[in-house]
Amino acid sequence: MPFTVLFVCTGNICRSPLGERLFTARATDADVRAVSAGTSALVGYGIDGPSALVLRELGGDPDGHTAQRISRTLVDSADLILTAETSHRSTVLRAEPAAFRRTFTMREFARLGAAAPAAGARDLAGLRERVFEIAALRGQVAAAEPGGDDVGDPYGGSLEIARIAGHQIATAVDAAIDALGLVSPAGRRPDGR
């Protein structure tokens, strides 16, 4: 069973598919996969037009995405849950409190992961343990300013707003890949191998 990262936003047509598709494009380890869902998903819809354009600009592929609503099955099967906003993280945790140690906002995981000791290559069990190591840094690493761990919703906004959200997500995805010790787009692990 692969290490699964679940990305969550509201409609599952902007932020979470951006995270999913960028993670898929950038984390090239064979035993890692990404999925996405929305707390109030526009079920059956593809990626929003501006977000699809930004995803392509950032090296991801928007084709074939179909929005889906978050479910207990998705949450239970995820090894790491990355949300767009703290409100989405709260929604996940209200439904499944046991997911606390593996649920973060995208930017929170990036911030905590950057404070963790460097990660070397890990097997699947090691990846799961790495998530718990990063979770243990909560309360030890300075908290973000209010709203600082959130990625704003670009839905209905301009292409520039979608680009801002896309770059925040890309930065968080790259930091998550590094924090986990996965193979980066250049084919090298953060430990140089």
**Superfamily classification of domain 3-180:** Response regulator (3.40.50.2300)
pLDDT at 87 over 70: yes
Position 169 scores a pLDDT of 98
Assess contact for 16 and 38: CB atoms under 8 A: yes
Name the band, by pLDDT with cuts 50, 70 and 90, for residue 192.
Answer: very low
- Tell me the domain boundaries of the chain: 3-180
Instruction: With CA atoms as reference, report the closest residue to 32 among 5, 6, 8, 59.
Output: 5
Assess contact for 161 and 152: CB atoms under 8 A: yes
Q: What is the pLDDT of residues 24-76, one digit of tens each?
A: 999 977 789 999 999 999 999 999 999 999 999 999 999 999 999 999 999 99
More confident residue, 110 or 121: 110
Structure tokens at 80: 């790491």
Q: Please tell me the pTM assigned to this model.
A: 0.93
Instruction: With CA atoms as reference, report the closest residue to 108 among 146, 74, 75, 51.
Output: 146
